[in-house]
Structure 1
């Protein structure tokens, strides 16, 4: 066991940062600003998102320490819940991952469409660009091509570089809030508080309940941007001196992420203005244009689209492997484990996952719809997975005081995390009830599939 403990403090810190910082930071600020009645609520949502991420990451780290198994994030459900619930939750997590891929592809299409079209592109056109990206990389993966770790490192450098570039707007002469070109304005929509709040203004007539609702809706977009830390569950048994390294690495990593995200939000508000941020598309490219002119906007847009394509490719690589493992464990039909040995391609899993991504884009062709749907499904998965810590603590008492990581302030941290995602789920239910209802129906359908197909055929989720 000790031979596996290879991750040092710096390694774990970089893993946490790499898991969380994705493409959402280049889009979700607009959705969060649309929902926030005041700048105070806007920044409070970003701070709260970081605190929630910290509580979640530490919770998942202990789960990983008590349940050290490859693919722990999906196998933990089978360990702690009824097979039907585990099956349904694991399936909606895959749907959520597909929706997340679709959402990120739309972020890229929103940016690149500004270079392709002279006039603002329609939602349908942007959805087709996103579908095209998914389709291209589906065939790339089907041909057996793989993205090397070196390319992934370059991608991470590009993303960090773009984030630092945006932060630089705070200190760049002339990059302050000014009138935007009309083509930079969004036509409207998004998760706006007017969907659930009475008419009025941000400074006149709002009640405490209105502010709470506004904060909850703003937190939806923030939750998407902070996602990824749940994968720390897979490293709990591979960390050197876990009692000290895990909390320090996660705390430092989340603190760096919060700092970067807050600085980026300050840069957006500084360069664009809070009210204009609510209706600005391609916010990161707009900031780059203010700093370096039209050529800067073009270069930034191309770099971001390149990063989006790489993200799409990574998810098309990773998720079919999860489906393959689920098939091997009896969670999914055997067909999902079908593999082209010559090209090392999981043909069925890859095809099904890519098809789900395209279907999501077809029915929810705007980022706002995908955002609400994804985070609602995530709310179910996050809350139920974090709740397993209470079950595991009882079942693994024999591991206490054996050197594994155990969080401080238990049960406060997991309760904060679970309550936060329950709050986000309720916020989505109130602001966009049809999206929430769709998520509930999807969950219920998978429950039905389990009893009608999986359980009836004698297959179930085997506990490790």
Structure 2
């Protein structure tokens, strides 16, 4: 790739911000606050979550630099692990993505439901979320797509909402009357507090997610040895700053104790600033942003399934495409179906959050662990201009241990989701051997085997 076409420091910084800043900041603050015993613990977990994100992003950046291939995040499993494990993990990552879509749809429904129902229930919110998924499933099935500007509009909406929430800090008259000092009410370290910290970190991890996609930009950055780590660190530091400012606004305007039980937090801040009309406007904008996010995931994930089928990772049926409309009918239908099924079994955001992050903890820990395998297999790439992180192996070890910790906390506090996650992974591993035995995937992982030989 020519240097003029490669990503600059500014480009990779903006990409890092765009990959991470999502819808979670408008909801997960409530869950993190509910698990925190003090404001100091609350803000501490947001800072720690950002530092873990830096460790993860730099780890994935080197993986992407050592293994520069389109769709690298799912292909590294096939290259570095046994095909059965790769198949199982890739499938649960897709389920995690579906659950994440369902969770974000619920965030939007929680904001819009009070404008439609007098006393909205969890069932009402779940039905609104399902309606959003079904509508955009139909849109995608007909071959209609939002333009690429949809994502840009979504990003503008999110950043404007974040700036509005931060601006509330400049109006002291809006502050909650009983706001306690951040350093107050600190408690001694105990097993219970460690578990609570892990529960708070679970919510924060959802909000900081997305940086793993830096794996796709390893060879596309100009002077990657310097610009890649600088861009990632600058991007995530910017995100940490934005998130801390937004959370400080929640803390000052809503109050720490009230934040623990308030779902439509952004709307409440806007209502205090601009009155009831401001709260309604924020709720509608957030719901529109959620609809665009739902559409984007319904566009992207079926294409991942299609690519996995082309590689022999999923059955051939997932390659089925309606050529006239360029619609991946089977992949789109299966993915949308998983999203709806998740909402039938978990109609509250807290439930989906636990399930999603437990699956993510498996995928993140194993994918980051690939760096140890790739370092050995690609020693010949050292000193050839690829990105090679400093403080190895400390950074990937910190990242892996953090997700093992979060996964363990979920297994202790919500064992039903951990059992479900492990069971789903086991079923997919068994299915791999069934597919292989029946010959449905005669070329299963053939591309992966070739890539193993190449690297």
Specify if TM > 0.5. Answer: yes
**In the alignment, structure 1 residue 367 sits paired with structure 2 residue 367:** no
Give how far 1:243 is off.
Answer: 0.6
Question: Distance between the aligned counterparts of 2:102 and 2:443, measured in 1?
Answer: 31
- Pick one of 444, 451, 454 that aligns with 1:460: 444
Question: Distance between the aligned counterparts of 2:75 and 2:172, measured in 1?
Answer: 52
Give how far 1:461 is off.
Answer: 1.7
SS of the residue corresponding to residue 365 of structure 1 reads coil
Give how far 1:455 is off.
Answer: 4.7
Query: In the alignment, is the contact (CA less than 8 A) between 2:306 and 2:331 conserved in 1?
Result: yes
Q: How does 1:25-40 map to 2 (within 5 A)?
A: 25-40=25-40
Question: Distance between the aligned counterparts of 2:244 and 2:201, measured in 1?
Answer: 14
Question: Distance between the aligned counterparts of 1:318 and 1:45, measured in 2?
Answer: 31
Residue 268 of structure 2 is matched in structure 1 by 286
**In the alignment, structure 1 residue 443 sits paired with structure 2 residue 442:** no
**In the alignment, structure 1 residue 417 sits paired with structure 2 residue 399:** yes
Question: Distance between the aligned counterparts of 2:60 and 2:325, measured in 1?
Answer: 35
Give how far 1:86 is off.
Answer: 0.2
Query: In the alignment, is the contact (CA less than 8 A) between 1:224 and 1:375 conserved in 2?
Result: yes
Q: What is the CA deviation profile of residues 400-447 of structure 1, one whole-angstrom value per residue up to 9, with x for unaligned ones? A: 000000000000000000000000001111111111111111111111
Residue 148 of structure 1 is matched in structure 2 by 147
Q: How does 1:316-335 map to 2 (within 5 A)?
A: 316-335=298-317
**Structure 2: which 5+ residue stretches go unaligned?**
179-183
Residue 181 of structure 2 is matched in structure 1 by none
Distance 1:455 1:164, change over 3 A: farther
Q: How does 1:383-402 map to 2 (within 5 A)?
A: 383-402=365-384
Q: What is the CA deviation profile of residues 336-382 of structure 1, one whole-angstrom value per residue up to 9, with x for unaligned ones? A: 01111111111110000000000000111100000000000000000
TM-score normalised to the size of structure 1? 0.93
Query: In the alignment, is the contact (CA less than 8 A) between 2:84 and 2:432 conserved in 1?
Result: yes
- Pick one of 215, 240, 247 that aligns with 1:258: 240
Question: Distance between the aligned counterparts of 2:137 and 2:186, measured in 1?
Answer: 51
Aligned residues: 441
Larger CA deviation: 72-81 vs 2-11: 2-11
Query: In the alignment, is the contact (CA less than 8 A) between 1:174 and 1:290 conserved in 2?
Result: no
Residue 339 of structure 2 is matched in structure 1 by 357
Q: What is the CA deviation profile of residues 138-194 of structure 1, one whole-angstrom value per residue up to 9, with x for unaligned ones? A: 001111111212222111111000011111111124221159xxxxxxxxxxxxxxx
Give how far 1:288 is off.
Answer: 0.5
Question: Distance between the aligned counterparts of 1:459 and 1:221, measured in 2?
Answer: 40
Distance 1:58 1:152, change over 3 A: same
SS of the residue corresponding to residue 444 of structure 2 reads coil
Distance 1:37 1:7, change over 3 A: same
Distance 1:437 1:70, change over 3 A: same
Question: Distance between the aligned counterparts of 2:4 and 2:373, measured in 1?
Answer: 26
Give how far 1:459 is off.
Answer: 4.3
TM-score normalised to the size of structure 2? 0.95
Distance 1:209 1:111, change over 3 A: same
Q: How does 1:50-449 map to 2 (within 5 A)?
A: 50-119=50-119, 121-177=120-176, 207-449=189-431
Larger CA deviation: 38-47 vs 308-317: 38-47
Query: In the alignment, is the contact (CA less than 8 A) between 2:313 and 2:444 conserved in 1?
Result: yes
Give how far 1:208 is off.
Answer: 2.5
SS of the residue corresponding to residue 408 of structure 1 reads coil
Residue 187 of structure 1 is matched in structure 2 by none
Give how far 1:394 is off.
Answer: 0.4
Give how far 1:134 is off.
Answer: 0.1
SS of the residue corresponding to residue 50 of structure 1 reads helix
**Structure 1: which 5+ residue stretches go unaligned?**
180-201
Query: In the alignment, is the contact (CA less than 8 A) between 2:109 and 2:125 conserved in 1?
Result: yes
Residue 192 of structure 1 is matched in structure 2 by none
Query: In the alignment, is the contact (CA less than 8 A) between 1:221 and 1:371 conserved in 2?
Result: yes
Larger CA deviation: 150-159 vs 370-379: 150-159
Over 6 Å off, 4+ runs: none
Question: Distance between the aligned counterparts of 2:405 and 2:2, measured in 1?
Answer: 40
Question: Distance between the aligned counterparts of 1:223 and 1:426, measured in 2?
Answer: 14
Q: What is the CA deviation profile of residues 31-87 of structure 1, one whole-angstrom value per residue up to 9, with x for unaligned ones? A: 001111111111111001000000000000000000000000000000000000000
Larger CA deviation: 167-176 vs 221-230: 167-176
Question: Distance between the aligned counterparts of 1:407 and 1:208, measured in 2?
Answer: 35
